[in-house]
Structure 1
Amino acid sequence: MANCVQCSNEAVVDERCLAHHIENCPTDENDRPVLAELDLSGLRLDEVQLTNLVITGDLKCAGTVFRGTLRIREVTVGGLADFNNAQMQAYVSISGLAVGGALRMRDALLERDVYLSRVASEGVTTLARATFAGSVEIDGLQAHSLDLRRATFQHRALLQLGAVPRVYLQRSGFQRGVRLTCAGPTRLDLVEVDLGGPSAIAAAASTVEAWRMQDRPVLGRTLGTDLSQVRLSYVDLSECSFTGAHHLDKLTVDDWHSWRTSPRGLWVTHRVTLADEHRVRGHARWALPGADGREAPSVDSVQTDYHSLRSMMQDRKDQRAASDFYYGEMEMRRIGLRRSVRADLRARDWRAAFSTLGEWLLLCLYWLLSGYGQRAWRAFVTLGLVVAAASAALARWGFQTPTGYGDSLRYTLRAASTLLRGSDVALTPTGDWIELVLRLIAPLLLALGLLAIRERVRR
C-alpha cells in the first residue's frame, strides 16, 4: 500500500491517510469536517480515531481489520454504518454516534473490551452472530430494534438500553451472565438463550422511582432458556409464556405487579394468573388485550408452570403469591380433567371416562365449597345454607312432636357442632337421616373454612 502524500503513514483514502483525508474535507457551520461517505471496507488499519465528524452518506467498514484502538466520538452518519465481518483486535470505544440508517456489526469479531455510549440508530442495530471476547458495556442505546440473535458474549455484559422497542435474543450466548436494563417498554423474548452466569432483566431506576409501570420491559417468551440464575425486576410478565423454560422454580421475580390478573366476576376469583391460562381458556372474558395470536399451550404445561412458580414463591416465603399460583394450578387440573372426560367419551373409552369423571367431580366440589381451600367465605356460606335447610327440614319432617323453626335451628346448630354425640330429642326416621348427614357434612365444611382462614392469615 502506498504512503500518504502528506506524511509517511499508509494511504487509506484518495492517496492520503485517514487523518489527512478528513483534514482536507470541507467543514460545516460548527467547524466539523463533512464527508460524502467514508469507505474503509477490507482494509487493515492501526489506531483509528473519528471525532466530531459528519458523514452525509454511509460509513463502510465491512471486513475491516482494526489492529489498533477504534475510537468514535460525536460522529453523525446520514446513511448506514456497516461493520459486518469486521475484526477489532484492540479496545473499541464508540460514544455519541448518530446513524440515520442501520448500524450493522453482523459476524463481527471483537477481541477486546467494548464500550458503546449514546449510540442512536434510526434503523435496526444488529450484532447478530457477533463474538465479544472481552467485557461489553452498552449505555443509552437507541434504535428501531436491537438484533442479538446468535451473538456470543464470552464475558459478563452490561446492556443499558434507551428507546429500543424490540430486542431479539434468540439463541444468544452470555457465558458469564448479563444485566439488561430498559428505560422503556422494550419487548424481548428469551428463546434458547444461554445464560452461563447470574443474570438480571430490569426496568431503569428512573422508571421505578417515578412508578411509570407502562415503561417496564415486556417479556414475551422463555422457551428453551434456563432460568435458574435469572432475576426479573419490574418486568411486565402479563403476556409472558413460560412454556418450555427450564428450572422455572429457580426464577426470581421481584415485583408483585408483574403478573396478569383474572377478570372480575361473581364466579371468578380475583387472583394473579399466567397469560397462558388466558390462552388456554379462550373465552372472550379471558382474552388478552390486543391481537395476541399466540398458540395456546397444553393444559398440562400450564399446570406444571403454576406448580414451579408456586415452589419458587414458597421458597421466598411469599405465601400470597404461592396461594394464587396454587389456585391456578388446581384450575388447570380441573380444566384438564374436564377435557379428558370429553375426549374419552368421544373415543367411547367408558372405563377411562368414568374414572376421570369421579376425580373431576371431586375437584369441582372442592372448588365450589372452598375455592381449593383458599376461600373461607365459600365454606361458611355453604355451611350456613346447609344449617338453614336442615333446620327447615327437621321442623317439617324430623321431630315426632311439632316443633317451631327457632327450636329446630337451635337443635341443628348443636348437631352441626358435634360429630359423635347422640340425639337427645325424639326424631322420626327421616329426622335421623337428616341429623346423620348434617353431622358428617357440617364438620367438613367447618374444617375447610378454618383451613382457608389459616391460608389467609399466613399471607
Structure 2
Amino acid sequence: MTTTPSPPSWPHCAHGAGPTDPVGCRGIHVPGHTACLAHLTDTDCDTYLAGLTPGADIDHRGTPFTESLLNALLNALRAPDTGHPRLGHATFELATFMEAALFESAVFECCALFGSTIFEGSANFVSATFKGDDALFVSATFRDSAWFTGATFEGRAEFGHVTFEGHAGFDKVTFGGGDGYSGATFGSATFEGRAEFGMTTFEDYAGFGSTTFKGDAGFFSTTFKDNAQFGQTVFEGDALFYQATFRGNAWFASATFKSDAGFEDAAFERAANLGPLICDGTVELSGAMFGVPVTLEISAKEVMCTRTRWQSTATVRVRHAAVDLGHAVLEAPLAVIAHQIPFTTIDGILDESALPGSGAVRVVSVQGVDAAHLVLTDTDLSDCLFSGAFHLDQLRLEGRTTLASTPTGWHRKGIAPIRWTRRRTLAEEHHWRAQTAGQLTAPAGTPPEPRRWRTGPHHPDPARTPDPDDVAALYRQLRKAFEDGKNEPGAADFYYGECEMRRHDRTGTPTAERRLLWAYWLLSGYGLRAGRALGWLAAAMLATIVLLMAFGLPASSPKQEATGTVPPGGGKVTFVIDKQDPKNPTRDRFTSKRFDKALSVTLNSVVFRSSGQDLTTTGTYIEMTSRILEPALLALAVLAVRGRIKR
C-alpha cells in the first residue's frame, strides 16, 4: 500500500508535481511569487536577493538548496563591516541542502530554525553565533560531516532526534550564557560517526539523554556549568571525558558504554551520583576529583581510580570489575562495596550479559593509599597490592574478604617432597616466592594456576619485587587491622605470614632469630598448627616411652636390706636400712608391664607431675627432659587451638 505524501502547512512551490509525487517541491513561496527560491526565474531571484539587507528575516522552509544558491543568499545578507552573513529570524525547516552548506561565521540575530532539515553535504557552522532564544535542529539529518567548532549558542540549542551520519565536531562550542532560558539538548540524537565536543562550554543544562553515539564521543576539557544529563545514553565507541568539569549534577543513570569510558582528570564539583551505569570495558577515573559526598554505581570490567581525589565521603558500589585504587587521595572515608545483585533503575535492571562472571569485585591495588579512610566490603583481594600503602593497620575489611591461597598439592624442593600449609596470603608474598623459585611469567589473561605461585607485574625483576622484610611489615599491619576488628581467627594467617617472611629475611632478621623462628615453625607452625604440635607431642611421648623401657626402668623394685650390730656385753641391736640403686634389666626390657610403667611416667610428665616410679639414673634424666619438652608442646597445641577459635 502506497502512502500519499502530505503537503506542507505553508503555501508551497509544487514544482515537479506529478502522479508519483502529487505534492512536488515543498519550498515555501518567496514573498510576491508563486515559487520557492530554488525555482524562481533568474531575474526574479536576483531581484529578491538584491532586496535583502544584513539582519533581514528569511523563510525558506522546504526549499532545496544547492551550494551556489545558498552562497548567493548568504552573500546578500553579508554585513559590510564584518564580512560575515547576518540573519534575522531564519527559518529552514524541512529544507534540503543538497551540497555543502557553508554557514561559517554566520550570525543569527534571532531564532534559527532547522527542524527536520536534511544536509546532504557537509554542514559548516564553524564560529557561527546564534543570538536568538532558540537554535532548533530537531530531527535534522546530517548525512556528511557537521562542523560547529567555535560556535556560540546564547539561547537554547535543541538537537533532539538529530542524526549525524558523519563526523560531528562541536569543539570549543559555547552553549548558553544569554538572558532567560538557555541550554543544549541532544535527546534521542544519533551520532553515526565521531562526535567531538572538546573544550565546549555548556553554560546551562546539557541534555544528552537517550542519545546514541555510534562512533567515539570526545568531551575533552568540556565544561558543564549546570546539570549534565546522559541518562540512557548509549556510547558504542569510546566515551572520552578527559579533563571535563561537571559543576552541577552528572546524571549517567542507565547509560551504556560498549567500549571504554574515560573520565581521566575530570572534576565532579557537585555531582552527588554517578550511575548506575554499565561499561563493557574500562571506566577510567584516574586523576578525577569528587568534591562533595558522592555515590558511584558501576558495572564494568575495570574501574581505574589511580590518583583519584575524594574530598568528601564516597560510596563506590561495583559489580564485575577489577578496581585499582593505587595512589588515590582519600580526605574522607571511602567505601568500596561489591554489589550483590544487578543495579536497578526506574528504567529497569541493567543488562550485564556482556560482562563475564558472577559479579564478584576484585581490588587490585591500594598502593600509596591512606588506608585509615578505606573500607572494603565483600571484595576479592587475591591480587591486591598493598605495598606502599600506609595506616594499613586501620584498614577495614568487611563482609566476605577473599585472599589468595598457597599452591595446592605436593611439590619438590630439591629431593624432598613438600606440601604448602593452607593459608590466606598476600599477593606480594606470591610475587616474591614466584621470583625466587624462578617461575615463568604467566601469559596475560590466563587465570591463576592453583598449583603455582602468582607472578607479579614486574616478574622476574628482583629490584621491583617486594622482599620478605617489606612483606612482613604488610602482614603485621593487616594482622593488627583484623585484631582491632575483633577478628582474631582471621588475623591468624597474617601472623603466620609475618613469621614466614621474617624466617626468610636474611637482611633484617638476625640469624639466631631466624633459627628460633625455624624451630617455632617446625614444632607448631608458629603456634597456629595444633595438629603439628600434637604430632610432635605424640612423637616425643613415644620416644620417652621407648627410652624409659630401654634405659629408665629398673629390672625390679629395689629391696630394703637390714644389718644389725650386737655390741659386746649387751643385747641391743641397731638396724641400718639401705636402698639399692635401680638397675636396668639385662633382658626382657620391652614387656607390657614395663610399657605400662613407662606410659604412666610419660603421661605424668606432660602435666608437670612426678610419676612416683623408681627410675634408673638415665631414666631420671629422660623424665626431666620430657617434663620440659612435652608440656611445652602441649601448650603450643592449646595456643594453636585458641588462635583459631578466640572471639
Q: For residues 488 and 503 of structure 2, what CA distance do their matches in structure 1 show?
A: 22
TM-score (norm 1): 0.85
2:242 aligned with 1:242, yes or no? no
Q: Percent identity, please.
A: 24
| 1:193-272 to 2 correspondences below 5 Å | 193-206=328-341, 214-264=358-408, 267-272=419-424
Q: Any idea what the Cα deviations from partners look like across 1:11-58, whole Å, max 9, x if unmatched? A: 99757967533344389xxx9542234332222211001122222122
1:301/1:54 CA distance change after superposition, 3 Å: same
Structure showing greater relative contact order (alpha-carbon pairs closer than 8 Å, 6 or more residues apart)? 1
Find the counterpart in structure 1 of residue 595 from structure 2: 406
Aligned to 1:357: 511
1:54 to 171, 190, 203: 190
Q: Find out whether 1:299 has 2:468 as its counterpart.
A: yes
Q: Which one of 240, 257, 263 corresponds to residue 127 of structure 1?
A: 263
Residue 352 of structure 1 aligns with which residue? none
1:87 is aligned, of 223, 226, 233, to 223
- The change in CA–CA distance for 1:434 and 1:110 in structure 2 (over 3 A counts) is same
Bigger shift: residues 118-127 or 31-40: 31-40
Distance in 2 between residues matched to 1:441 and 1:23, nearest whole Å = 90
CA 200–361 in structure 1, closer or farther in 2 if over 3 Å, else same? same
Q: Which runs of 5+ in 2 are unaligned?
A: 1-83, 92-107, 115-123, 144-159, 177-182, 344-355, 410-417, 440-449, 555-582
Partner AA of 1:188 in structure 2: V
Secondary structure of 1:239's counterpart equals coil
Q: Which residue type is aligned with residue 170 of structure 2? A: L
Q: Does 1:144 align with 2:281?
A: yes
Distance 2:453 2:112 in 1: 61
Does structure 1 residue 446 correspond to structure 2 residue 642? no
- Root-mean-square deviation over aligned CA pairs: 3.0
Q: What letter is aligned with 2:337? A: A
Amino acid at match of 2:490: A
1:387 to 541, 558, 566: 541
Q: Which amino acid aligns with 1:319?
A: E
Correspondences of 1:415-454 after superposition (within 5 Å): 415-417=604-606, 419=608, 421=610, 424-427=613-616, 429-454=617-642
Aligned residues: 435
Would the aligned equivalents of 1:232 and 1:252 in 2 still touch at CA under 8 Å? yes
Q: Does 1:35 align with 2:164?
A: yes
Q: Distance in 2 between matches of 1:421 and 1:259?
A: 48
Give the aligned partner of residue 191 of structure 1: 326
SS in 2 for 1:390: helix
Q: Is contact 1:98-1:120 (8 Å) kept? A: yes
CA drift at 1:81: 1.4
Q: Tell me, what secondary structure is at the counterpart of 2:209?
A: strand
Q: 1:374 to 1:50 in 2, by over 3 A?
A: same
Q: Secondary structure at the match of 1:165?
A: strand
User: Quick check: 2:274–2:297 contact (8 Å CA) kept in 1?
Assistant: yes
1:457 corresponds to: 645
Comparing both structures, which one devotes a greater share of its residues to helix?
1
Alignment equivalent of 2:485, drawn from 312, 316, 332: 316
Q: Could you tell me which amino acid in structure 2 is paired with residue 72 of structure 1?
A: F
Amino acid at match of 2:111: N
Give the C-alpha shift of residue 213 in structure 1.
7.4
CA contact under 8 A between 1:156 and 1:176: conserved in structure 2? Answer: yes
Greater mean deviation of Cα atoms: 431-440 or 216-225: 431-440
Contact 1:200-1:230 at 8 Å conserved across structures: yes
Structure 1 residue aligned with 2:504, among 335, 348, 353?
Answer: 335
Structure 1's 458 and 49: CA in aligned 2 closer, same or farther, altered over 3 A? same
Whole-angstrom CA distance in 2 between matches of 1:141 and 1:401: 84
1:22 matched residue in structure 2: 138
Paired letter, 2:136: H
| Alignment partners' CA distance in 2, 1:152 and 1:88 | 15
Contact 1:248 1:309 in 2 (8 A): yes
Query: SS at 2:372's partner residue?
Result: coil
Give CA-to-partner distance per residue, 1:155-196, whole Å, 9 cap, x none.
12322112x222222211111132222221x12221210112
1:278 aligned onto 2:447: no
Q: Once the two structures are superposed, what CA deviation does each residue of 1:64-113 show, in whole Å capped at 9, x if it has no partner?
A: 11111101121112222121121221111111222232212212222222
Partner amino acid, structure 2, of 1:309: L
C-alpha distance in structure 2 between counterparts of 1:291 and 1:50, whole Å? 46
What's the CA shift string for 1:375-412, capped at 9, x where partnerless?
22222221221121122122222231425341442343
Residues 89-108 of structure 1: matches in 2 within 5 Å? 89-108=225-244
- Give a deviation string over 1:248-274, Cα, whole Å, max 9, x none: 111111233421222345753222211
Q: Secondary structure at the match of 1:236?
A: coil
CA distance in 1, matches of 2:393, 2:373: 11
Judge conservation of contact 1:180–1:202 (CA < 8 Å) in 2.
Answer: yes
Q: For structure 1, which runs of at least 5 residues remain unmatched after alignment?
A: 342-354
Q: What does residue 90 of structure 2 align with?
A: 5
Change (3 A) 1:132 1:32: closer
The verdict on how the C-alpha distance between 1:126 and 1:11 changes in structure 2, with shifts beyond 3 A counting, is farther
Letter in 2 for 1:109: T
The residue number in structure 2 matching 1:349 is: none
